[in-house]
Amino acid sequence: MKKILLFALLSFAVIHQEAKAQHSNNYISFKNQNECYQYFAYKGDGSILMSGHRGGREKGFPENSLEGLQHVLQQMPAIFEIDPRLTKDSVIVLMHDATLDRTTTGTGKVADYTWAELQSIRLKDYEGNITGFKIPTLEDVIIWSKGKTIVNLDKKDVPFHMIVGLIKKHHAEKHVMITVHTGAQARYYSDRLPGIMLSVFARNEKEYEDIRISGVPWHTMIAYVGYTIDESNHAIVDKLHENGVRCMVSYAPTHDRLQTKEEREKAYREDIKCRPDIIESDIPTEIWALLIK
């Protein structure tokens, strides 16, 4: 009996330490697809998930960089919206703009460079400081993110079939989400990657209906409803909630652009009163600090 009790205590200690380690790493991972659905499902419990827009923006850490994603995860749990683009030789890399000028030491269109040619280029942070970091491939980010977070692929210039192929290659359905702008796009990915999580646009009645008639299961999606929740979209949010769908707002075009941390904090606090389910931000760490106070 003593041996059994000792074994039970040791087992509990190991499980506790593993849970503590996972929490300290801020990792988000799922054993199966149902766990993924449960994590993203709207439950009416007031919980807020955080999404790093373009991975996140902090001094010394460029947007759409693997190092930037890692830096955010060291501070908080988060999912990440990232931007796949295609090189001249059909390698999928992360880059928001069609050109290199704003965020790198290079110039010109991403599509005019081969992957090998991009190796000499370095990323800049949001202040324009040159870092030692290189442009990552989407494949590297998908491999890295497994067991750590969920990456949400925005729609840029990569053909849909290439996105499908890469996700299938790495069996990444449990840790990759895809942003779609129309019901037809949602149907395309749902048919080829059954059960894949989708981030859909549902900012108004027209977009909501387009998604509804696509027939894609509600439990496989979150919905972007705009910059905030107000009278213009409140009825749509209610419908989405009735279907168990979390609603996401983005502070990237609004509050994130305020000049000082104090101004941003005031704006964040006020808008959080609108009760979004997911907040997308260029500076997720600042909002997270408010949410855990």
Mean pLDDT of 243-264: 97
For residue 251, the number of C-alpha atoms closer than 13 Å in the C-beta half-sphere is 30
Confidence tier at 182 by pLDDT (50, 70, 90): very high
- pLDDT tens column, 93-126: 999 999 999 999 999 999 999 999 999 999 999 9
Mean pLDDT of 231-248: 98
Handedness of CA 75, 228, 44, 53 (dihedral sign): negative
Cβ neighbors of 281 (< 8 A, separation 6 or more) are 50, 51, 52, 53, 250, 251, 252, 255, 256, 287
Q: In whole numbers, what is the pLDDT of the chain averaged over residues? A: 92
Q: Looking at the predicted structure, is the pLDDT value of residue 13 above 70? A: no
Q: Looking at the predicted structure, is the pLDDT value of residue 167 above 70? A: yes
- pLDDT tens column, 49-93: 999 999 999 999 999 999 999 999 999 999 999 999 999 999 999
Confidence tier at 264 by pLDDT (50, 70, 90): very high
Rounded Cα distance between 141 and 163, Å, is 13
The pair phi, psi for residue 246, each rounded to 5°, is -70, 145
Q: What angle do CA 204, 209, 210 make, to 5 degrees?
A: 100
The pair phi, psi for residue 104, each rounded to 5°, is -140, 175
User: Residue 186 burial by CB count (10 A; 0-12/13-18/19+): exposed, middle or buried?
Assistant: buried
Rounded Cα distance between 254 and 80, Å, is 18
